[in-house]
Amino acid sequence: MHLLDDVLYEALIETTLKAGRVVMQVYDSAFAIEHKGDASPVTEADRLAEIVILEDLARLVPDVSVVAEEACSGGHIPTVGGAFFLVDPVDGTREFISRNGDFTVNIGLVQDGVPILGLVYAPTRGDLYAGRAGHGAEHISIVDFQKGARRAIHVADPASNPPRILASRSHRTPETDDFIARFPGASLVAAGSSLKFCLMAAGEADLYPRMGPTMQWDTAAGDAILRAAGGAVDTIEGVALGYGPGAGVGVSAYANPWFVARGSLAWI
């Protein structure tokens, strides 16, 4: 099976929806909140959704390694080849806990350091965003965890001037504020999780600066969608954000540098 073919793509969409159903079952219950070793919160939704995704990936593409957030946090970090998946079963756990709806289920596929396929599902919103290298990106309306209307999406052209800048709900830093200050008159759009990449992919925002810690499973799916829609994600040195184990040890090998995501290549 080719990793970008329609059969696998549609199967992964179904996996994402299945995981989203599990997430919502927890969301609608009186769930407990725990904390991992790095003090980040985790709930049963993260663990159960990850199990669903890992089981499906093992069935669909057994020869492709999967780097999944909760497994890695538990010390299970696989050796990866040229192609591997990055999975964040609930991106925006703080948003999940506060029940503001800005959390997502994320599956990203990397080939030779480049995100080539991404799926981001926001179950409370009924929005699923997807993209593949060479195939473009799309928005799929979801009703009762079933696929509805589909439409192609693309970054804004021309870009807004001044830009519409996405700011994290939970992770603003002084460095991020300094970047925003470079664009007088810019409008700020608050959003959580990987939805920020998707809003740019759909032409609803122009820039997303992230001068703070993130992990590759936080960004791979949204990054792939944004690139498929015509955008880019670069480090602050101007190099395309890359994926794969770095110089760190354990989980830290999958830490991202600071980056700026652009809905339009006009914004450097």
Known binding-site positions: 69, 88, 90-93, 218
Distance CA 26, CA 247 (A): 36
Burial class (CB in 10 A: 0-12, 13-18, 19+), 248: exposed
Give the residue numbers of the binding site for Mg(2+): 69, 88, 90-91, 218
- For the range 49-52, what are the long-range contacts, defined as Cβ-Cβ under 8 Å and sequence gap of 24 or more? 49/19, 49/20, 49/22, 49/23, 49/89, 49/90, 49/105, 50/19, 50/87, 50/89, 52/15, 52/18, 52/19, 52/22, 52/89
Q: Distances in Å between the alpha carbon of 63 and those of 10, 70, 83, 106, 116? A: 19, 20, 9, 20, 17
Which residues make up each annotated binding site for substrate? 69, 90-93, 218
Q: In degrees to the nearest 10, what's the CA dihedral of 154, 155, 157, 161?
A: 160
Write the DSSP string, 84-128: EEEEEEEE-HHHHHHT-S--EEEEEEEETTEEEEEEEEETTTTEE
For residue 129, how many other CB atoms are within 10 A of its CB? Answer: 28
Q: What percent of the chain is helix, strand and coil (3-state, nearest 5)? A: 30, 30, 40
d(CA 134, CA 178): 35
